[in-house]
Structure 1
Amino acid sequence: MMQAILILAHKDEEQLLKLVDRLDDCFEVYIHIDKKMSLSDRVKKSLSSNPRAHYVSLYDVKWGSFSIVEATVALIKLALENKEITYVHLISGEDWPLQDPQKIYDFFEDNNQIYMDFYRVGDAQKSGEPLLWWMKFYYNYDQVNRRSTFGKIYHRLLILTQRLLHVNRLKKYGFQDRNIFSGQEWVDVPRDALQYAIKTWDTDLRYQKLFSHSFCSDEFWLQTILGDTTYSQRIDRNMHRYINWERENGKTPAILDERDYEAIVKGNYFFGRKVKLSTSKGLLEKLNQSEKK
C-alpha cells in the first residue's frame, strides 16, 4: 500500500526539488506546476527520472479562482489511477514536513479518518463578507486578477450589483444555504472518501457549475461534497498544519522561521505553511536536530 502527496506548485523550482527529495522515500509525489512557472531542463530531467515523482502543468492558476480546484481535481484523479494509493495529502509547494516523513506516513497508515478544516458556513464571514455571498454570486477570477487594485474594486462592484439584483446561484442549482461547508484547502483524505468526491464531481454536474464561478471555491468544494454524507462523521478538524497568521495580521500566512520553533514542537504538526528555505533555514535545521534525538 502507498500514500500520495499532492503538491500545488507555483514558484521556486529549487525548493520544489528539495521538497520532493524530502518526501519521496515514503510517498508517491504528484505535482501540478502552475503554467506561469517555467521549469529548467535540469529540473524537468530530475523530476522525470524520479520514479516516485509525477508532474503535470495543466492550468494557469489564479488566486481565488476555479483554476485551483481544477488543478487539485486533476492531481487527485492522477493519484487515484494508482490502485495502491490508500491515502492522499494535499499541500502547496511552499509547505514543508515538520516531522520525519516516515512518522507522518505511519500516522496515516491504516487510518480512515479525514483530516480537514470543516464547518457549515451558516453566518460565517471573512473580510467582512458573508461566506455564502462567495457561493451565491457570480465571479470570474480566472479572467480578472482579484488581488490587483482593479480586482478589489471589481469585487465590490460585483457584490453590490448582484445584491441589488437578488442573484442566488445556490438556488439556481438546487442548493440550500445549509448545504454549503467550508474550510482551508489543505487536507488529508483516505482513498474511499476521495473516490466518492470525484465520482460525485463527475456525475452531479451541479457542483462544477456552482464552483466554476464562485470565489475561493478551493475552500468549499470538497467540504461541501462530503458535508451532508456519512463521510462527515469521519472528519477530524485537526489539520496537523502549523500556520502563523499573527505576524501578518491575519491577511496571509507568515513565512516560518526560528521564532516558530517552540510552538511547532509543542504541537502535533505534520506540515508547516509557509516555508522559504533562505528564511526558514534555521528553523528547519533545529527541527532536523530534534528528529535525531
Structure 2
Amino acid sequence: KHEYEYYHLLSGQDFPVKTNRQIDEFFAQNKGQNFLEVSDRLETQNPDRYRLRYQQYHFLQDRFVGKKRNIFKYIDFFSCYVQRYVGINRTRKISIQSGSQWFSINNDLTRYILNHEDWITKHFKYTYCCDELFIQSLISNTRFMKTLSENLRYVDFIWKSKHNLTPRYLTSDDLFLIEKPNYLFARKFTSDSMSQFRSRIQESESNL
C-alpha cells in the first residue's frame, strides 16, 4: 500500500507558480511541516454568518439547498435562527477553528484526519461550508498545531456583494508571484492567465 509524503488540495482554478523541481525541493527541505491556515479571518469577515455555519443544524442543506440560492436556503437559515433562539448550540464542548480549505499536509496529519472520521461526522454533519472548519477544529490543541506553517497559496479576496467575498482572477500583472518564495500555488486563473503563467514558469525553469 503506497503512501505519499505530502497531499495537496487544489481547486480546478488553482495553478502552480513554481517549477516542479522547486516544489519538490521545497517540501524535501521542510519535511514534517504542514501548510494549513488556522486563523480568525473567516470569523471577523462576518461573525453572525460564520456562527450560523456550525452552531445549529442545517437539515435542508444537503437534500434541498446545495449551492443553489432558492427558497429552501432561506427556510434553512430561518430554522437556524429559531434553533439559536431556543438555545441550541451544538459546539459548546469543542473549540471551533477556521481557515482556508486548501492545504498541503504531510502523511502523518492525513492519517490522523482519516482516523477521526467519526468525530468529524458527529460534529460537522448538517453544517454549512464546514470544509473551512473541520480540519482546523480537529487538530486544535493537538501536537499538529506546532507543525503548522503558512498556506503557500496566493489568494486576493474582493467583495462582489455584501455576503460574497471571493478571490479575484489573476492577470499578467500578477506574474511577480513567480519570484515570490512564499507562494507555490495561486488562485484563481482564467485559461489566458494560466497560459501566461505557464510560459513564464517554463522560461524560469530553462534559466535554472
Q: TM-score range by the shorter chain?
A: 0.7 to 0.9
Please state how far the C-alpha of 1:226 moved relative to its aligned partner.
1.2
Match of 1:99 in 2: 18
Name the counterpart of 1:269: 183
Give how far 1:246 is off. Answer: 3.5
**Counterpart position of 2:80:** 159
Q: Distance in 2 between matches of 1:120 and 1:259?
A: 29
- Distance in 2 (CA, whole Å) between partners of 1:292 and 1:107 is 18
Equivalent of residue 197 in structure 1, options 113, 138, 149: 113
| 8 A Cα contact 2:177 2:183, kept in partner | no
In structure 1, how many angstroms separate the alpha carbons of the residues matched to 2:171 and 2:40? 33
Q: Which residue of 2 aligns with 1:290?
A: 204
Given candidates 113, 119, 131, the residue that maps to 1:218 is: 131
Pick from 169, 185, 190 the counterpart of residue 101 of structure 2. Answer: 185
Shift of residue 212 of structure 1? Answer: 1.6
How many Å separate the matches in 1 of 2:156 and 2:199? 19
Give the secondary-structure state (helix, strand or coil) at the position aligned to 2:91. helix
- Distance in 1, Cα, partners of 2:45 & 2:159: 18
1:82 maps to which residue?
A: 2
Conserved in 2, the CA contact under 8 Å of 1:146 and 1:155?
A: no
Q: Distance in 1 between matches of 2:33 and 2:11?
A: 21
The CA deviation at 1:114 is 0.8
Secondary structure of residue in 2 paired with 1:104: helix
Letter in 1 for 2:174: D
Unaligned runs of 5+ in 1: 1-80
- DSSP 3-state at the match of 1:166: coil
Distance 2:76 2:206 in 1: 49
Instruction: Decide whether the 8 Å contact of 1:145 with 1:151 is kept in 2.
Output: no
**Matched ranges for 1:103-252 at <5 A:** 103-109=22-28, 111-119=31-39, 124-129=43-48, 131-139=50-58, 140-143=60-63, 144-150=65-71, 152-171=73-92, 175-176=93-94, 179-201=95-117, 205-236=118-149, 238-246=150-158, 248=160, 251-252=165-166
Q: Which runs of 4+ in 1 moved over 6 A?
A: none
Q: CA deviation at 1:264?
A: 4.8
User: Does the aligned pair in 2 maintain the 1:256–1:283 contact within 8 Å?
Assistant: no
Q: For the residues of structure 2 that align with 1:208 and 1:270, how far apart are their CA atoms?
A: 31
Q: Is the 8 A contact 1:90 1:188 kept in 2?
A: yes
CA positional deviation for 1:260: 1.4
* Percent of paired sites with the same residue: 23
* Contact residue 97 and residue 140 of structure 2 kept, 8 A: yes
> With structure 1 as the length reference, what TM-score do the two structures score?
0.61
Residues in 1 aligned to 2:134 and 2:43: alpha-carbon distance in whole angstroms = 16
- Shift of the 137–125 alpha-carbon distance from structure 1 to 2, 3 Å rule, reads farther
Letter of the 1:198 counterpart: L
Q: Which moved more, 1:214-223 or 1:241-250?
A: 241-250
* Mapped partners of 1:151, 1:170: distance in 2: 24
CA distance in 1, matches of 2:98, 2:159: 24
Cα distance in structure 1, aligned partners of 2:68 and 2:193: 25
Partners of 1:247 and 1:269 lie apart in 2 by: 23
Whole-angstrom CA distance in 1 between matches of 2:73 and 2:165: 14
Deviation of the 1:187 alpha carbon: 0.9
Distance 1:126 1:147 in 2: 22
Kindly state the Cα deviation for residue 157 of structure 1 after the two structures are TM-superposed: 1.3
